[in-house]
Chain A
Amino acid sequence: MITKKIKILIGKPGLDGHDRGAKVTALALRDAGMEVIYTGLHQTVEQIVRAAVQEAVDVVGLSIMSGAHLPICQKLLDLMKVEGIQEIPVVVGGVIPKQDIPKLSELGVAGVFPGGTSFDQIVDGINEVAK
C-alpha cells in the first residue's frame, strides 16, 4: 500500500519571534517523511489560512509561545470555517499550560503538543489527525 506523503503547514502567528521550536519541529517532521512548509515569523491568521488554502495542506500546525494561544486559535478556526477549509485538522505546539489543553480541544484544535513533547509523539499525533 502506498501512503500519501502528509503535507503540513507550520505557522508562526502573531508577533512572537521565538522560532526555535517551530524550526526544530519542522526539521523533525521533514525527517519523518512529511512535506513541511514553514511560513516564517510574524504571520497574521489571515496569511496562515491563505497559505493553507494555496498549498492545499493536510494539516495546519501553529507554534505559539507568547501565551496568546486561545484567542489566536479561536480566530484561526473561525476563519477556516469562513474559507470552507474547516476539515483540515489544526494542531498547536509551544508554551501551553496544562489547564488550557481542554479549552483548546473544545475550540476544535485536533492536537496539542506543549513544550517537552517528543518528536515521536508529535509525528504520531500528526499521522493520527491526518488520517
Chain B
Amino acid sequence: MGVAKYIKDEKDSIKEVIYQSGIKVKPVYTPKDLEDVGFEYDNDLGDPGEYPFTRNLHPQGYRSRAWTTRQYTGFGTPQETNERFKLMISHGQTGLNVAFDLPTQMGYDSDDPKALGEVGRVGMAIDSLRDFEIAFDGIPLDRIGSGLTINAVASIMLAMYQAAAEKFGYPKEKISATPQNDILKEMIGRGAWIFPVEQAVRLVGDSIEYSVKELPRCNPVSICGYHIRESGANPAQEIACAFEIAKAYIENVQSRGLAVEDFVGRFSFNLNVFGNLWEQIAKFRAARKLWAKMLKEEYGVQEKKKLFLRGLFGGGGSGLTKEQPENNIMRGAFYALGAALSGAQTTALCSFDEAYTIPTPRAALLSLRTLEILMDEVGLRDTVDPLAGSYFIETLTKQMETKIQDEMKQIQDVGGMVHAVASGFIQRKVAQQAYEYESGIQKGVYIKVGVNKYALGSEAQTDVELHEYDEQGVDKQIAGLNELRRARDNREVKRLLKELDKAARDGRNVMPLLVDCCRAYATVGEMSGVFRDVFGEWHEPSIF
C-alpha cells in the first residue's frame, strides 16, 4: 500500500490528503499544530540517544557509525551461496542476511516428495550441518553477523549455526546470529508455518531462553511488522502487530522465570520502508518512542540499552512493480532515503527485479550501491535526526503514536496476539485491506507510476534478466544428502532424535538437544519430523 489517498479538484489542485493509517494531512503546519497535539521536547523527543529515543538510539546517529547493510542473499546450493556471500562482503557489505529455500523453511529434506521442484529455488537448501560447513566456509563468524531468514524451524537453524561455528573454531560466545524466528507473523503474512500456534510460540521461547543463557551475542528473534505490512496492513497496524507479537514472546519467556530486563534487549525488529515518505518517517520515530515507553512503564525495564528498538528498516517489496521494472531502482532510493532520515540502524533494499525473480548479481549490487550513496555521497551522515522540530513531522509523529496505540488496543481487546492469530482476526482484517487497496489501484484511487499513470501498455514491458533455476544443483544436493546418511553414525542420530522427542514431549527446552542432533548430522527433515510428531501441524482458520 504504497500511496496515500489524494482528493483533487478539477484543476488538479489537492484538496485532501489521507494517509493509510487514516491521518489527514494539512496544507500548512505551524507552531500552533505542535501546541494542539501537546508536543513537548523532553517528553516526546529528548535528545538523540536519550529516552524515549524518538530522535535516535545514539547521541550522534550516523556520525559515529553508518548503518549496517544486509542485503538478502542465498540461493541454490550452499556452495553457490558461499560464493555470493564472499562477493557481497568484498563489495563492502557488513552483515549477511541469509535466504533459505522453501523445503528448508518448511522442515523438509531435499529428497522429500514435498520438496520436488523447490530445492534451492528461493534460497539455499540446507539439509544438515554439512551444508552449513560449506555455506559459511571462510566467513569470519566472529566479525560478520548473520540474519537467518527462517521461522518455523529457526530453533534448528540457530542450533546448526552454533554447531558450524564451533567446527570452524569460533566459540559460541563470539558468534552473532539473528534468526528471524517470528512465527506469529508467518501465520499472518508470509505463510511458512508448520506447528500449531501455542507450540510454535513455545519453540520461539525455547530459543530466546537458550540464547540468553548460552549465546551472548545472538539476537534470537527478529519481529517482523514487515511481512504484515506486505500482506495489507497499514503502517500503524504494522507497528501495532509487531509490538503485540513481541508481547506474546515476552510473556512466554517471562513465564519461564526470566526477568524481562534480562532478555528483551535481544529482540530486534524488521520493519518496512515503502509507502508515503513522511508517514514512514513518523512511523519509525513513533515506534522507537512507544517501544521504549512500553518496556519501561509496563515491564519495568530500566537499563537504557534494553529500551532500544533495534532492527532493520528496509525492503520495500510490495512498493515495487512489475511494470517498468527500472522505476523500482528510483523507488528503492526514495524508500532508503526515508529509512536514513528515520535513523535506521540496519538496512537492506529489495532489488528492482524482485517482482520477477530472486535478484541477479547486478540488481543486488545496485541496491547495495544505493544504500552506500546515501551514506557516502549525499549527506545523510551529516547530522542526527535532521527533521526534528519540523512542525509537520513532529505533529505527524504524535498522531502516528496515537494510531499505533489504537490498533494495539484492538488486538488486546480480542485477547492478545496469540488469540488474534488463532482465530483469524488479524488475517481477515489484513486480507480485506489488501483487497481494498488493490481495487483502489485498479480504479485509480491510488496512483502508481507506470501502472495506472504513465503506463506504457503491455507490449512495451521491459524484460528483466531472470535468475535461472539450476536442476543439476538439485541432483548434487540430493546426492550429498544420501552420502551423508550413509557416512554418519546412524545409531547415534537415532538415539539423539529419540531424546529430542522426549524433551519436546516433556516441555523441556529443546535447544541443547538440537545442538547435539546437528553435531551428529541429523537432518532438518528428521528434527522437524520429531516436532511434527509431537506437536502436529497448524490448521489455518478460515477467513472467508
Contact = CB atoms under 8 A, between A and B. Distances in A.
B487 interface: no
A72 B461 CA distance: 27
B116 A97 contact: no
A30 B435 CA distance: 11
Given A41-B191, A68-B117, A115-B322, A15 B439 contact: no
B117 A97 contact: no
B356 A97 contact: yes
Contacts, number: 91
- Size category, A interface: 20 to 34
B248 interface: no
Contacts of A17: 186, 190-193
B137 interface: no
B276 interface: no
B234 to A, nearest CB: 14
Interface stretch (B99-107, B237-245, B396-404): B99-107
Contact of B451 (A20, A95, A116): A116
A15 B114 contact: yes
Interface in B90-138: 102-103, 105-106, 108, 114-118, 121-122
B66 to A, nearest CB: 32
A94 to B, nearest CB: 11
Contact of A28 (B322, B439, B451): B439
Contacts of B321: 116
| Secondary structure class of chain A's binding surface, majority of residues | loop
A15 B232 contact: no
Contacts of B122: 16, 66-67
Contacts of B435: 23-24, 27-28
A27 B431 contact: yes
A4 interface: no
Contact of B434 (A15, A16, A20, A36): A20
A6 B186 CA distance: 32
Contacts of B118: 14-15, 66, 68
Given A15-B105, A15-B114, A18-B191, A40 B540 contact: yes
Contacts of B431: 20, 23-24, 27
A83 interface: no
Interface string B414-428: 000000000000000
B491 to A, nearest CB: 31
Contact of A119 (B322, B439, B469): B439
A66 B438 contact: no
- Size category, B interface: 35 or more
B102 A19 contact: no
B463 interface: yes
A55 B226 CA distance: 36
B394 interface: no
B190 A18 contact: yes
A38 B191 CA distance: 15
A119 B438 contact: yes
A66 B190 CA distance: 13
A114 B321 CA distance: 12
Contacts of B477: none
Contact of A24 (B186, B438, B540): B438
B164 to A, nearest CB: 24
Interface string A88-105: 000000010110000000
A16 B466 contact: no
Interface string B526-543: 000000000000011011
A91 B322 CA distance: 20
A32 B318 CA distance: 25
A71 to B, nearest CB: 4
Contact of A23 (B106, B434, B539): B434
A118 interface: yes
B469 A120 contact: no
Contacts of B116: 71
Given A67-B121, A72-B117, A118-B442, A16 B544 contact: no
Interface in A48-105: 66-68, 71-72, 95, 97-98
A19 B544 contact: no
Interface string A1-38: 00000000000001111111001101110100000101
B358 to A, nearest CB: 9
Contacts of A119: 438-439, 442
A27 B451 CA distance: 21
B106 A15 contact: yes
A24 B543 CA distance: 12
B442 A120 contact: yes
Contacts of A40: 539-540, 542
Nearest to B107: A15
Given A18-B191, A24-B434, A66 B232 contact: no
Closest 9 CB pairs of A and B: A17-B191, A15-B102, A68-B117, A27-B435, A23-B431, A71-B117, A40-B540, A24-B435, A15-B106
17 contacts: A14-B102, A16-B102, A17-B191, A19-B191, A20-B189, A23-B431, A24-B232, A27-B435, A27-B544, A28-B435, A30-B544, A36-B544, A66-B122, A68-B117, A114-B322, A116-B323, A120-B442
